[in-house]
Structure 1
């Protein structure tokens, strides 16, 4: 059996909410299933563009798993599903929530993320022990 490439989560490196999401992933992904790429970096920008999102103003975080891009609530559900264990329950709830409702709510939060949660002056920098998880 061939090993799968780790999934990649592209996030906004200056968004406080997005940085907390990265912290959550790092805390709960002890198996190293995910790599992380800030949208401000070379890898993040390339992945966003390759999956039809603007690298300069993405409307969503991006999960790329097995070559397929997932955005909005599908990206969050995909991360939670891959974390496994108890995180499969909220993943299932997100998947069962009608996308016509969940995705616009997600995009509203994404559009207002800086005003609602704050913005950093610079991208979140990884700690030395977690640097291997980041692509840029």
Structure 2
């Protein structure tokens, strides 16, 4: 599978998330409820498409330690806090106002992101297998 072709086949903006993380699954549900134009698509990081992503070493950690959300947009992959801000920006008003957080240095934004990511299983729990989308939103999921 060619990664670029697999990403662009739906010609959209794709949110890759940790499918066994309760915080991540809750975040995806929150995004779906606010994505009125249905521009975002979703895929588990554990899926074939997610495993094919060219990610950094931390994102490849078997527990998904630091990269609970990856965002693909316009041919680019975004990780950590930048992914979160880009996703919010894609939702439009008022969520796109979060772009003001780009004024903070990336090391500071990623420090907060990594702290939450490293503790997400402890604080929010995890499931034994990836979540299955409901029939109402199944068309938004790539895998």
Of 99-108 and 68-77, the range deviating more from structure 2: 99-108
Alignment-derived partner of residue 13 in structure 1: 19
Tell me, yes or no, if structure 1 residue 87 matches structure 2 residue 91.
no
Tell me, yes or no, if structure 1 residue 119 matches structure 2 residue 126.
yes
User: How big is the alpha-carbon RMSD for the aligned residues of Structure 1 and Structure 2?
Assistant: 1.6
What SS does structure 2 have at the residue aligned with 1:85?
A: coil
Q: How does 1:1-136 map to 2 (within 5 A)?
A: 5-47=11-53, 50-52=54-56, 53-54=59-60, 56-58=62-64, 59-60=66-67, 61-89=69-97, 91-136=98-143
Gaps of 5+ in 2: 1-9
Cα drift, residue 93 of structure 1? 3.0
When normalised by structure 2's length, the TM-score is: 0.84
Contact 1:6 1:32 in 2 (8 A): no
Q: Helix, strand or coil: the match of 1:103? A: helix
Report if the CA contact (8 A) 1:64-1:70 is conserved. yes
Query: Could you tell me whether the CA contact under 8 Å between 1:39 and 1:55 is conserved in 2?
Result: no
Extract unaligned runs of 5+ from structure 1: none
Q: How far does residue 121 in structure 1 lie from its aligned partner after superposition? A: 2.2
Count of residues paired in the alignment: 130
